[in-house]
């Protein structure tokens, strides 16, 4: 009996070694749930986030996997936002905020797609003239699986602790994240950006200038916001996550998505953005697009409501590494005011994106 058990254990260990998957160079993005809890025994202060893709408010959305050995890879993660808000009448002072999250960790493949990870992270936070830098450590365990020849998916449980910095309290973060990644094997480039449309999933970010105006109780409001967001970071408008589905000839249907839900001290804020449009290839990598927008907003204590809008854009798509495709796009989005939200909104955006084929 003992011999049988020993043989079984040795066989299992051998299977683990054989089935441990090697890493490949990949770029990807992730989103999901995160709970940020103030550190300290008995602390009941926390904030919950649901972001798709990751907005950068709780965790970076973009990651890069760099193999350093057959079972070990380095993974940097990055998100960055910078916002400046002004009100034309001067009744509300100008506010500037910036946040950068950067982490570097080692991923170790265990067996049959399972892996563990450990490393460190830095968070830079600036609010007007106040600047803080937090450092911390992180750990993770996850499962990854190939869903195509150059496409992979993963689900991961992650823990991050950040130490106190100036006026920023220490915190612990617990996350459950879903990630999608495309392979960067080799340095060969293809003419994907100049060819026909393909089924693709992508993420974008860049410069956005927002004009929000209207009146409340006879008082005029005129806000201007300037934002610079790393791909996958920032608010839901314009939508940072997109799916392109080819139709016929020069046409494709592109749908943008964005989901953000925050809950803190009994108050919940929800922001869901859905933006379908028609893309038309013109010549080379140049394209034009137009479509509509539906944005749903809800806050605890008030009824949720939807904003209707429209968007138009012109852009240029180009090949990156392997089957990855990049694009640069100038777009304009408008939302009309409604009775329970008497503000109109215009967004002018210069966005840069990267997409990967889904088949």
Q: Do 252 and 171 belong to one domain?
A: no
- Domain assignment present for residue 299? The answer is yes
**For residue range 10-46, what is the model confidence (pLDDT) as tens digits?**
343 444 444 446 899 999 999 999 999 888 756 677 8
Q: Do 344 and 225 belong to one domain?
A: yes
- Domain assignment present for residue 300? The answer is yes
Q: Do 167 and 199 belong to one domain?
A: no
- Of 168, 185, 202, which residue sits at a domain end? 185
**For residue range 271-302, what is the model confidence (pLDDT) as tens digits?**
999 999 999 999 989 999 999 999 998 888 78
pLDDT of residue 21: 63
Count of helix runs (H) and strand runs (E) in the chain:
1, 18
How far apart are alpha carbons 347 and 179 in whole angstroms?
28
How many Cα neighbours within 13 Å face the side chain of 81?
Answer: 26
Looking at every residue in the chain, the average pLDDT score rounds to 85
- Of 155, 185, 215, which residue sits at a domain end? 185
Provide the β-strand partners of residue 243.
201, 255
Domain count, the chain: 2
Q: Do 64 and 135 belong to one domain?
A: yes
How far apart are alpha carbons 79 and 59 in whole angstroms?
8
**For residue range 303-339, what is the model confidence (pLDDT) as tens digits?**
888 889 999 999 999 998 778 899 999 999 999 887 7
CB count within 10 Å of CB 154 equals 20
User: Could you list the residue range(s) of the whole structural domain that residue 346 is in?
Assistant: 188-359
């Amino acid at each position: 009996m003992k011999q049988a058990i020993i043989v079984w254990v040795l066989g299992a260990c051998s299977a683990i070694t054989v089935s441990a998957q090697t890493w490949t160079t990949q770029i990807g993005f992730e989103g999901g749930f995160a709970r940020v809890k103030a550190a300290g025994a008995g602390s009941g202060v926390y904030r919950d986030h649901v972001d798709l893709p990751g907005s950068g408010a709780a965790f970076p959305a973009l990651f890069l996997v760099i193999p350093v050995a057959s079972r070990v890879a380095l993974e940097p993660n990055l998100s960055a936002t910078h916002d400046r808000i002004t009100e034309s009448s001067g009744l509300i002072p100008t506010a500037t905020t910036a946040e950068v999250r950067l982490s570097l960790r080692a991923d170790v493949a265990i067996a049959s797609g399972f892996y563990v990870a450990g490393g460190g992270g830095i968070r830079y936070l600036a609010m007007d003239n106040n600047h803080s830098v937090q450092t911390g450590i992180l750990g993770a365990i996850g499962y990854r699986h190939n869903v195509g020849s150059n496409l992979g998916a993963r689900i991961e449980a992650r823990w991050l602790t950040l130490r106190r910095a100036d006026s920023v309290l220490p915190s612990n973060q617990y996350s459950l994240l879903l990630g999608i990644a495309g392979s960067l094997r080799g340095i060969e480039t293809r003419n994907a950006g100049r060819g026909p449309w393909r089924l693709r999933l992508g993420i974008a970010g860049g410069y956005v200038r927002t004009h929000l105006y209207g009146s409340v109780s006879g008082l005029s409001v005129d806000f201007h916001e300037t934002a610079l967001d790393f791909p996958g970071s920032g608010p839901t408008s314009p939508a940072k996550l997109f799916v392109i589905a080819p139709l016929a000839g020069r046409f494709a249907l592109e749908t943008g998505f964005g989901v953000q839900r925050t809950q803190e001290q009994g108050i919940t804020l929800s922001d869901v953005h859905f933006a379908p449009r028609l893309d038309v290839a013109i010549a080379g990598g140049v394209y034009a697009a137009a479509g509509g927008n539906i944005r749903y907003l809800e806050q605890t204590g008030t009824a949720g409501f939807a904003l209707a809008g429209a968007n138009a854009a012109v852009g240029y798509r180009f090949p990156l590494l392997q089957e990855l495709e990049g694009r640069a796009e100038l777009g304009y989005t408008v939302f009309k005011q409604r009775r329970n939200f008497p503000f109109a909104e215009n967004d002018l955006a210069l966005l840069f994106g990267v997409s990967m084929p889904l088949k």
